[in-house]
Amino acid sequence: MKTYLRLEQKNLKILLGQKFIHNAWKQFVKRNKRDLGSDWTVLNIRKKQEDCINSNKKFSEELKSLNKGCPIKLTKPKLGQALAETIKEEDLDDNIKRLLSELNEIM
């Protein structure tokens, strides 16, 4: 019987970490020749992440509040694209690597 990886109560954005999220969106915005707002910092992302873990708020919704001042609307698909274009396999958490490996086996 196959044992599937469980991420428990974490989601992929939380496993990725604040620096990856920050840098991925920053580079995405720069590639589109726009500027970030002043609230988009690693520290602010970390604070939002901790708040969401403690209060069951949606992290993706809280991230959007940090993007004010940026002319590019932060959406889940755009953030996913930014992460995919930026992060290298060696940057990924071991849990994510195992998840991707198991998904690969299924497909």
Cβ atoms within 10 Å, residue 90: 6
Q: Is the pLDDT of residue 12 over 90?
A: no
**Is 6 or 106 the better-scoring residue by pLDDT?**
106
Q: What number is the average pLDDT over the span 29-57? A: 91
Indicate the pLDDT class of residue 11, thresholds 50, 70 and 90.
Answer: low
30: amino acid identity, one letter: K
- Express as a percent the part of the chain with pLDDT over 70: 85
- Please say whether the beta carbons of 29 and 35 come within 8 A: yes
**Annotated domain spans of the chain:** 12-106
pLDDT for residue 8: 44
**Is 42 or 95 the better-scoring residue by pLDDT?**
42
pLDDT for residue 25: 95
Q: DSSP 3-state assignment of 67? A: coil
